[in-house]
């Protein structure tokens, strides 16, 4: 039975280390989203596909892992924005509505990325 306890303790220790690593990397991940948004906003009119793709990828990195490490709402909202951007990559006409939503997400995440409600 001690082998099972030892394996479980080792698993929990690895998971805690991964969680700490994600938490430490989160500010840089959010900064990447902010920088990609700034590049998109700096273009005149609708951003080109490479700029939208960079923003999409930055959101995807948060959406794909946040919930695993206890940031469920942060990840869910990133996924919503990521999916909206995927649609924009096919038809960019909706860009003016998406940019403020990404900015709102970043402001919310800066307040409390572990929040259980998105408001």
- Residue ranges of domains in the chain, CATH in brackets: 26-111 (1.20.120)
Average pLDDT, the chain: 92
pTM of the model: 0.88
pLDDT tens digits for range 60-118: 999 989 988 999 999 999 999 999 999 999 988 889 999 999 999 999 999 999 999 99
> What's the rounded Cα separation, in Å, for the pair 83 and 54?
14
Number of H helices, E strands in the chain: 4, 0
pLDDT tens digits for range 79-90: 999 999 999 999
What's the pLDDT at 93?
Answer: 86
φ/ψ (deg, to 5) at 66: -60, -45
> What's the rounded Cα separation, in Å, for the pair 52 and 66?
21
């Amino acid at each position: 039975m001690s082998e099972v306890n030892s394996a479980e303790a080792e698993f929990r220790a690895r998971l805690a280390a991964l969680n700490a690593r994600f938490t430490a990397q989160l500010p840089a991940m959010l900064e990447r989203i902010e920088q990609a948004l700034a590049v998109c906003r700096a273009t005149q009119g609708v951003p080109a596909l490479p700029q939208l793709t960079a923003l999409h990828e930055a959101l995807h990195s948060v959406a794909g892992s946040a919930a695993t490490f206890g940031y469920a709402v942060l990840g869910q909202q990133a996924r919503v924005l990521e999916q909206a951007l995927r649609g924009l990559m096919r038809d960019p006409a909706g860009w003016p509505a998406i940019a403020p939503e990404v900015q709102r997400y970043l402001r919310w995440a800066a307040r409390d990325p572990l929040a259980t409600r998105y408001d």
